[in-house]
Amino acid sequence: MSKYYRYYVLMILTVASVLNIADRLIMSILMEDIKTEFTLTDTQMGLLAGLAFALFYALMSLPIARLADRSNRKNILAAALIVWSGMTALCGAATGFVSLFLARLGVGVGEAGGSPPSYSIIADYFKPSERARAMGVYVTGAVIGTGGGLMVGGLLGELLGWRLTFMALGIPGILIGIVLFFTVREPKRGTYDAGNDRAKEAIEIKETLSSLLANKVYVRVSISFAMLTMVGYAMAVWLAPIMLRNFDVSLSKVGLYLGLTYFVGGIPGPVIGGYLTDYTGSKNARWRAWIPAIFILACVFTFWFCLSATELMPFLGFFALAYAFFMIPQGASMSMLQSALGSGERALGISFALLINSMVGLALGPLLIGLLSDFLAPSYGARSLNYALLVVCTFAATVAALGYFWTSVAMSRDPNLDEGLEEGHDEGQLTV
């Protein structure tokens, strides 16, 4: 396959990731308006932003991933994209907490088929030594989806209201799903798995799960990545409400300022992190675990200054730096997961890891913050949400860093990830 086509596929998958994250997190910028209209608490908003999405996302991710290990991943991704986009539009028709909760469940069902097939496809288009960079590019979609979603959502929310905003954001995904279906070719499974002694063909799910649980690197990275994700979702879900409560700023400006900050801090992070990880990992493979450990600690340290700020500009500046630190480990984490898995277990393995991410980082994280914010509100008023984020994020980042250091103990020092690949192997075959 040509280099240009590989990067075209990566671009399309990244666009799908943009829409995935935008639809998942649009609740953040619209949260205060929804809370006011339906008279909800922070705990209820934490349920809508987290658990409502994560519940069916987690339940559906494993069977969909299993299907992706056995069938055409491109078709699964295209169908999932259309489903979650349609359910996002239906959120705008909600009449109360229950109906909005159910619509968010539907978004989770669709998005369960998004990331596992994408990660698996990327792994079959890029060699192991290139994967951290490719994954770094892919996860910039999360940054663009978060920042762009906030900017567009804030502007549309102020002009059209939260209901029409949900509806407007659902349309692009349907169109991209059609483009993906007709232009992306399914790669040959296991193209770059030479030298990996794991079975190239999908095996029975019980055997696959046993293999995953016996894989020390996979298990430790999955746990660490889940705690890292808790920090990310805490920022993505709750920073817009914090700005609206703490600063005299309109909804559209919150979306604009916060969105631009996500771009400034987030876009360089995964790309730099990918190259930094591939470079240091070429000297000692354990740097692939040490890099995430170091930078998640740097992230939460900087985040303290962000949430302690009493002026808007210092708040945004410290957040941009914190988010850049947060994004650096993303490509490294996914690269470690991909390299630890065989092609026949890759989609299921990634889906299981993302299931842990969803239940810990997305379902539990926002709910804990909402509960703690409501508990602290009588004493700290509008700042209660700030303190709730500080407590939860500090705990999660500490556990994540320790987990990554623990992962390095189980890793080989051998930096040669491409061992066993034949010359010219990057001309991998494609299947329709």
Confidence of residue 193 (pLDDT cuts 50, 70, 90): low
- Residue 426 maps to a domain: no
Residue 154 CA, distance from chain mean position: 21
3-state secondary structure of 52: helix
Note the Cα 407 to chain centre separation in Å: 20
pLDDT at residue number 190:
67
pLDDT digits (tens, 9 = 90+) for 202-234: 456 677 777 788 888 888 988 999 999 899 888
In a domain, 238, yes or no: yes
Is 65 among the domain residues? Answer: yes
Mode of pairing for the β-strands spanning 186-187 and 430-431: antiparallel
- Under DSSP, the state recorded for 346 is H
The total of structural domains in the chain comes to 1
Q: Give the CA distances from residue 326 to residues 81, 155, 171, 398, in Å, rounded to whole numbers and listed in that order.
A: 26, 26, 30, 13
* pLDDT > 60? residue 194: no
Confidence of residue 353 (pLDDT cuts 50, 70, 90): confident
The C-alpha angle with vertex 15 and arms to 9 and 16, in degrees rounded to 5, equals 90
Q: pLDDT grade, residue 62 (50/70/90)?
A: confident
- Res 384: pLDDT: 92
pLDDT score for 55:
79
Nearest Cα to Cα of residue 346 among 159, 27, 91, 69: 69
pLDDT of residue 431: 39
Share of the chain above pLDDT 70, in %: 90
Residue 427 belongs to some domain of the structure: no
* pLDDT value, residue 331: 73
In this structure, what DSSP letter does residue 185 have?
Answer: P
Q: What is the DSSP secondary structure assignment for residue 194, as one 8-state letter? A: T
Alpha-carbon span 56 to 112, nearest angstrom: 8
Residue 47 lies inside a defined structural domain of this protein: yes
pLDDT at 376: 94
71 dihedral zone (left: phi>0; alpha: psi -120 to 50; beta): beta
Average pLDDT over residues 103-114: 87
Mean pLDDT throughout 315-335?
86
For position 136, which CATH number holds? 1.20.1250.20
pLDDT of res. 198: 47
- Tell me the residue range of the domain where 378 lies: 3-186+203-414
d(CA 332, CA 289): 7
Query: Given pLDDT bands bounded at 50, 70 and 90, which one contains residue 414?
Result: low
Report, as an integer, the average pLDDT of 362-369.
Answer: 88
In a domain, 403, yes or no: yes
In this prediction, residue 416 carries a pLDDT of 54
pLDDT at residue 183 is higher than 60: yes
Q: Is residue 195 part of a domain?
A: no
Return d(Cα 116, Cα 120) in angstroms, integer: 6
Res 197: pLDDT: 45
Q: Report pLDDT for 191.
A: 65
- Kind and range of the H or E run holding 186: strand 186-187
Q: Which residues of 306-317 are buried (b: 16+ CB within 10 A; e: fewer)?
A: bbebeebeebbb
In this model, does residue 258 exceed pLDDT 50? yes
Sign of CA dihedral 108, 109, 115, 118: negative
In a domain, 422, yes or no: no
pLDDT bin (cut points 50, 70, 90) of residue 418 is: very low
User: What distance in Å separates the CA atoms of residue 16 and residue 27, rounded to the nearest whole number?
Assistant: 18
Whole-number pLDDT of residue 213: 82
